[in-house]
Amino acid sequence: MDPFSSSYSSSGGGPSSSPPSTEALMDQVKNQLAQAYAEEFLETVREKCFAKCITKPGTSLSGSESSCISRCVERYVEATGIISRALFSSPR
C-alpha cells in the first residue's frame, strides 16, 4: 500500500473510487510535514534543554532545573518563530 492510499479509504471509497484531489493530497502532505516538524522540534528541545539544564538526573527536577528547562524551551520556541517568520516572509 502506498502512502496515499489511506486517503482513498478515508473518503469512504475503496481502491475503485476516484483518486484524491490535488487539494486533498496537499492537505495530507502538509499534515505529515507538520507532524514531522513537531516531532523533530520536541526531540531537539528535549535533547538540547536536557543536556543544558539537567546536571544530575534523579527522580525529580530541582527548582533550578525546572526554571532552566522552562527558559530553554521558551528561548527555543522564540528562536524558531523568528527563523520561521524570516524564511516565510522573504520574497521568492
pLDDT in tens, 30-44: 999 989 988 988 898
Residue 19 has pLDDT above 60, yes or no: yes
Q: What is the pLDDT of residue 89?
A: 83
Residue 15 binned pLDDT confidence (cut-offs 50, 70, 90): low
**Candidates 1.20.1070.10, 3.90.1150.10, 1.10.287.810, 1.10.3430.10; CATH matching 19-89:** 1.10.287.810
Query: Which residue, among 70, 62, 65, has the nearest Cα to 53 in the 3D structure?
Result: 65
Return the DSSP state at 11: T
**19, exposed or middle or buried, with CB in 10 Å at 0-12, 13-18, 19+?**
exposed
Cα–Cα distance, 92 to 84 (Å, whole number): 15
Percent of the chain with pLDDT over 70: 77
